[in-house]
Amino acid sequence: MAIDVNSEDGLIIRKLIPLGTWPGARFNALCESITIEEIRGGTLFKKGDMDPRLIYLLSGEVTLQSEGLIIEVIAAESEAARFALAHQIPRKIDAVANGAVRFLRLDADIVNNPTPLVCKEDNSYMVIEEPEDDPNDWMTALLKSPVFQRLPPANLQKILITLEEVCFEKGEIIISQGDVGDYYYLIKSGHCLVSRKPSPNAKDIKLAQLGKGEAFGEDALLSGEPRNVTITALTDMVLLRLDEQHFLSLIREPSLKFIDQERMQEVLMQGAVLLDVRSQDDYKAGHLPGSVNAPFFSLRMQLKTFNREQPVVVVCDNGKISEAAAFLLLRHRFNALILKGGLNVAASKPAAKEVPEPVHETAHFTIDDGVETLINLVDEPHPQNTREPSDQISSLTASGALEDQLGLMKSENEALRRANLQLNDKCLKLEIEKEEALRQYHVLQKQMEKLMQMLDKAKGDQGVA
């Protein structure tokens, strides 16, 4: 029975490794051809089984054991369940269902060696086929990027002609956090480290490593903000750089898609996700109903939670941060759309035609700020045109007190904003530590499997003796 890719099961399967890296068309084809199995108790496979199919746990809990010794208990919602269960053939251990479980059996050859994806060619976009020669060639890796696959051939040719080669030695800083954006960089050879300081006196937080065929530096060019990270060469590096003007005209313009409010409402009704990439404080102060908040700086760490099959409409205050966010989403094969002009432009439009605009109702659409609306501060004109001097003094005193309160609130908001940025950086650091812990876990798991093999062999030798 075919599986709906947008169903709960489809979203779970999409997170399985390596299925999460497949293009949408290939994944959809797989879901049409597979069936979910279910058992209540019993054995999924036994030690010595030769069935080459991979088994992925979708729901429930499975115990991996050998001769009565429990090696591991895997729950469907755990990180370990994203991998196939004890995939070595012949099976080295038993897999026993703890109650009701649902799982998939997938052909190992299809999972590990999927049919190469070939794109059709047209007159508007550069099209790349999966190469049969050197897969590590930097230009091949670059042209496989979703960003460059969307470029017209003429743009791609101009880019390759315009690129300037620059070299950096190991340990040299390529760009510094806080600098003004000037170039977009492509890595021809070598590796570099991406890091960030949450505050001037804080230690660097390591965010990622980049290598051949990857690119960086577009955030500042698109958003107009200073560089938000530092890039340091881990090895001697050869980079190709493109200046801001050529980046904006040759890459940004044909890559990014903008929509107005009317079109936004249409795509949202068709199932698109509305993504607000402003800070949490700005989002709480006012946002569009139904929007999801993912501050741009932490967006990279949340990409795994999004469904590539759903278009994403990106919004921010003025549209500039949305451009950087949409470019990031595009690089990771999402269909990203940008609300043109952002919330500021949208909010400046009248609510209805041929009707005088109310004093405090300037938004074209409702913005949900989660706070009850206060009484209008501008009352109707007082029936008397003059006030007693004592009333004027009282009014001035109240006004001064109000200004003091507003000043205090601004100071508190700024302190909260700084604290929020520090928390975001801590979350990123914890996410990186989590990934490293998972990597070590999988290394230990492989070592455990080898030890079990040695133990089984030793027991077999004793039996022969």
Q: How far apart are CA 63 and CA 76, in angstroms?
A: 11
- Which residue carries 């992925």 as its tokens? 56
- CA 4 to each of CA 58, 108, 327: distance values in angstroms, whole numbers, following the listed order: 15, 22, 28
For residue 220, give both structure tokens: 């500042």
What residue type is assigned to position 230 of the chain? Answer: T
Which residue stretches of 224-349 are H helix? 244-247, 253-255, 261-269, 280-285, 296-302, 320-331, 342-347
Which residue range is the domain that position 331 belongs to?
Answer: 256-347
pLDDT, residue 392, reads 46
Half-sphere CA count of 215, side-chain side, radius 13 A:
27
Q: Are residues 249 and 284 in the same domain?
A: no
**Sheet with 61-66, edge to edge strand ranges:** 43-45, 94-97, 61-66, 69-75
Of 289, 324, 347, the last residue of a domain is: 347
The domain boundary residue, chosen from 253, 286, 305: 253
Per-residue pLDDT of the chain (465 residues; tens, 9 = 90+): 688 888 888 888 888 877 766 777 888 888 988 899 999 989 999 998 988 888 999 999 999 998 888 888 999 988 778 778 877 778 888 999 999 999 999 888 777 655 544 444 343 333 333 334 444 456 666 777 788 877 876 787 788 888 899 999 999 999 999 999 999 999 999 999 998 887 778 788 888 889 888 889 999 999 888 998 899 999 999 999 999 999 999 999 888 999 998 999 999 999 999 999 998 888 998 899 989 998 887 787 788 888 888 899 999 998 889 999 999 999 888 999 999 988 876 565 554 343 333 333 333 333 343 333 332 333 334 444 444 444 544 444 455 556 666 666 766 776 776 677 667 667 766 766 676 677 677 767 777 777 777 777 766 666 655
Domain contains 236: yes
In tens, the pLDDT along 403-419 reads 666 666 766 776 776 67
Strand-strand pairing, 173-175 and 205-210: unpaired
100 and 88 inside one domain? yes
Q: Is 340 inside any structural domain? A: yes
- Ordered DSSP codes for 157-199: HHHHHH-EEEEE-TT-EEE-TTPPP-EEEEEEES-EEEEE-SS
Q: Is residue 192 part of a domain?
A: yes
Q: Considering the domain boundaries, does residue 447 fall inside one?
A: no
DSSP conformational letter for 144:
T
Q: Is 372 inside a domain boundary?
A: no
Residue 237 lies in a domain: yes
Q: Is 38:100 a contact under the CB 8 Å cutoff?
A: yes
Rounded distance between C-alpha atoms, residue 89 and residue 54, angstroms: 10
- Tell me what pLDDT residue 141 has: 67
**Residues 264, 321 within the same domain:** yes
- Assign residue 294 the CATH number of its domain: 3.40.250.10
| Total domains, the chain | 3
List 273's β-bridge partners, or say none.
Answer: 312
**Co-location of 263 and 274 in the same domain:** yes
Integer Cα distance of 115 and 70 in angstroms = 38
Place of tokens 């045109």: 385
Selection from 231, 206, 228 nearest residue 219 by Cα: 228
Residue 390 counted as domain residue: no
For residue 387, tell me if it sits in a domain. Answer: no
Q: Are 182 and 244 in contact (CB under 8 A)?
A: yes
Dihedral (CA of 14, 117, 218, 216) sign: positive
Distance CA 294, CA 303 (A): 10
Cis status, amide bond into 289, omega within 30 of 0:
no
| Residues 249 and 281 occupy one common structural domain | no
Q: Are 90 and 49 in contact (CB under 8 A)?
A: yes
Residues 226 and 260 in one domain: no
- Note whether 249 and 275 are same-domain residues: no
**278 and 248 in a common domain:** no
Which 3 state secondary structure label does DSSP give 30? helix
**What length is written for the chain?**
465
Residues 226 and 269 in one domain: no
| pLDDT for 132 | 40
Domain stop point among 253, 278, 296: 253
Are 18 and 104 part of one and the same domain?
Answer: yes
Residues 164, 191 share a domain: yes
| pLDDT score of 406 | 65
Bridge partner list, 75: 61
Q: Which two tokens stand for residue 105?
A: 């059996």
| Residue 262: both structure tokens together | 């009317």
- 226 and 272 inside one domain: no
CATH number at residue 92: 2.60.120.10
